[in-house]
Structure 1
Amino acid sequence: MERHLPAFNACQGLRRQILHVATLLLCLLIMPASAEPAPGAGRSYILWYRNYDSPAIHALVELALTKTPEYGGFKLVRSEELSQGRVLRELAKGQSRLVDIANVATSAEREAFLNAIPVPVDGGLLGFRVCVVLPESLPLFEGIRSLEDLQDSGIRIGQGSHWPDTPVLEANGIPVVTHSRYEILYGMLRNKRFECFARGVSEVLYDLKVVHDPNLVIEPNLLIAYSMPSYLFVGPKDQQTAHRLQLGLERSISDGSFGRFLIEYYGQAAEVLNLDRRVVIALDNPYLSEDSRSVGRQALSNLRRRLDLLGR
């Protein structure tokens, strides 16, 4: 193993996190079950269409709302097909009629003008990224064992122009090609505008199932890793929704349903993507708030200790 991973010693902390994912997901299976109150008619919450269409995020938001029946019934509504940048601007208005809730990666800037619910929705997996590539591009990735190798390879990474990953990659000396629409990026990859579409390990399997393109594959050897917690966000003045989501997530952690959510929607990724066998390319994320920087480093271990305490 170690002869295949020369970057191992520099990335031990991240590798422990990766291995902890699998341990966490297995351990969470033992958490107790609970009865789910049935939601009735009540407030409609407009969920960003990307999250609404994602089975995992849709299920998590529904779980948090279901756990808080004292706030009344609810209905989730799919938003218009807005870009991530537009969604954030609409939320920041405070009284947008286009969107109420969005799940996106966090940054200090986003936490400054939006209302964050600081529970990593995927247990911290979003900051672990693999490359979706064209099969003919696979030889370009051979021999990459360090950040310096990646910088020297000429490989360009495709990302959304409003995604916080873009400045993180650029700050680490990696060329980035952007577009405002997620769907367009796959066409750009097919047209060889860049060589790697970096996707979180918590989202890539679902992405490729939806795209359903046999000419796109997951590069098997690299794992690009950086602190990037992914939170639910609401408008800065929407304290009621923020409180409801926070309380619902806290209750789901306490009764074990959050653990079962992680198992159901993300448990497959750690195994299928062979995370513990990949070369780890560790990047710095200089754009997190101090609180989220700590969350990014310790999300998995903190969550495990919290579950142990609440499960007693």
Structure 2
Amino acid sequence: MLEQPTTVQTNNNIKRFHINKALTVLLCACILASPSLRANTVPSKDYILWYRNYDSPAIRALVELSLRKTPEYGDFRLLRSEELSQGRVLRELSTNRSSLVDIANVATTAERETFLTPIPIPIDGGLLGFRVCLVMPKNLPMFSNIKNLDDLSNSNIRIGQGSHWPDTPVLQANGVKVITHTRFEILFGMIRKGRFECFARGVSEVLYDMEKEKDPDLVIEPNLLIAYPMPSYLFVAPGDHETAHRLQLGMERAIIDGSFAEFLKKYYGRAVELLSLHQRSVIVLDNPYLTEDSWNISRMALENLQRRLDILSR
């Protein structure tokens, strides 16, 4: 016959049950409260970054910084996408089910913000809208008398841009002659063949372009700075709320703790200094293709141009 538990044993068992239950609840609460512990319970995730962003040391570094600042979402790997055109990348993201790309950094437009999810923080502090010209040395004299928009519009200078880039309609809306192609890499061959005279590149891009091309026949025109409201955001698929939240939270934490400012200084301070932006003639263009929020962000970037240059050149 089995021995029946005594009243004391039963009470002790009940006490142990309640103690174990309380410890379990406490442990769960600690895990939820601690990002480092919570990260260990979340599986690692792969994020596919558009190849042109992945190949850019600055953009890749910012995405990695944002992901590192959010350990509660788990570990991650950042992968390079296939070599897709900008138009193809945006179409892939818009499908909400792409296996080719998860994150892309491009200039924003009102249209892009309607069919994709933007992280509305300019990744380069607004510098993408400040552009200089890559030119062939023989064409430098064409730029010597360009001082304002009328001079540029009435000249024989044609600007090369990507077919899907939002810069193209902005330039055209301001009366500037534009030649386009769907592939970024092809544009370098086109300027060498004389298809256009200026390949307008962002201040945050041009030195990397020069280092990658390693072409002594391409030079940076020294006197002009073309400026227009053009914030550059990270974009994800419209239904990918988790990645959007993670990237925005990471960037906000980086801004608060100062690491975003360190990132800007590290990757763009050199460009401000080497391009002598303080000494250039600034031609300001209008951008009619922005949402009101993005226009306000860009307006502040233009109004604070001098302050930004001063900070980055220190």
Q: TM-score, normalised by structure 2?
A: 0.83
The offset of 1:146, in angstroms, is 0.9
Residue of 185, 191, 195 corresponding to 1:183: 185
**Structure 1 residue matching 2:154: 3-state secondary structure:** helix
- Structure-1 residue corresponding to 2:16: none
Cα deviations across residues 43-99 of structure 1 (Å, max 9, x unaligned)?
Answer: 000000000110000000000000000001100010000000000000000110010
| Unaligned runs of at least 5 residues, structure 2 | 1-35, 305-314
Tell me how far apart the structure 1 counterparts of residues 303 and 139 of structure 2 sit (CA, whole Å): 36
In 1: Cα distance, 2:277 partner to 2:246 partner: 34
Instruction: Quote the residue 2:238 is aligned against.
Output: 236
Aligned equivalent of 1:277: 279
Q: What code does the residue aligned with 1:125 have?
A: L
Give CA-to-partner distance per residue, 1:76-126, whole Å, 9 cap, x none.
010000000000000000110010000000000000110000000000000
Equivalent residues of 1:225, 1:281 under 8 A apart? yes
1:173 to 172, 175, 179: 175
**1:94-133 correspondence runs (5 A):** 94-133=96-135
Structure 2 SS opposite 1:153 = coil
Alpha-carbon distance in structure 1 between the residues aligned to 2:113 and 2:187? 26
Instruction: Give the Å deviation of 1:154.
Output: 1.2
The structural deviation recorded for 1:301 is 7.7
SS at match of 2:66: helix
Aligned counterparts of 1:96 and 1:266: Cα–Cα separation in 2: 32
Q: Is the 8 A contact 1:120 1:299 kept in 2?
A: no
| Rounded Cα–Cα distance in structure 2 between residues aligned with 1:52 and 1:143 | 38
Mapped to 2, the partners of 1:172 and 1:88 lie a distance apart of 25
d(CA) in 2 for partners of 1:209, 1:234: 29
C-alpha RMSD of matched pairs (Å)? 1.6
- The equivalent position to 2:68 in structure 1, one of 60, 66, 70, is 66
Which residue of 86, 89, 94 maps to 1:87? 89
Q: CA deviation at 1:225?
A: 0.5
Matched AA of 2:171: L
Name the counterpart of 2:250. 248
Given that 2:229 and 2:302 are in contact with CA atoms closer than 8 Å, whether structure 1 keeps it comes out as no
Structure 2 match to 1:7: none
Q: d(CA) in 2 for partners of 1:98 and 1:72? A: 21
Structure 1 runs (4+) deviating above 3 angstroms are 299-302
Give the letter aligned to residue 280 of structure 1.
Answer: V
Q: Distance in 2 between matches of 1:162 and 1:301?
A: 28
Which residue pairs with 1:21 in the alignment? none
Count of aligned pairs: 266
Larger relative contact order, structure 1 or 2 (CA cutoff 8 Å, min sep 6): 1
Query: How big is the shift at 1:183?
Result: 0.4
With normalisation by structure 1, the TM-score equals 0.83
Does 1:53 pair with 2:70?
no
Q: Which amino acid aligns with 1:243?
A: H
SS of 2:262's partner is helix
Relative to structure 1, the CA distance from residue 151 to residue 118 in structure 2 (aligned partners, 3 Å threshold; closer, same or farther) is same
The one-character-per-residue Cα deviations of 1:6-41 (angstroms, maximum 9, x if unpaired) are xxxxxxxxxxxxxxxxxxxxxxxxxxxxxxx8x987
Question: In the alignment, what sits opposite 2:200?
Answer: 198
2:209 paired residue number: 207
Deviation of 1:300 (Å):
7.8
**Aligned partners of 1:133 and 1:219 also within 8 Å:** yes
Whether 2:262 is the aligned partner of 1:264: answer no
Q: Distance in 2 between matches of 1:190 and 1:301?
A: 35
Give the aligned partner of residue 16 of structure 1. none
Segments of structure 1 that go 5 or more residues without pairing to the other structure are 1-36, 303-312
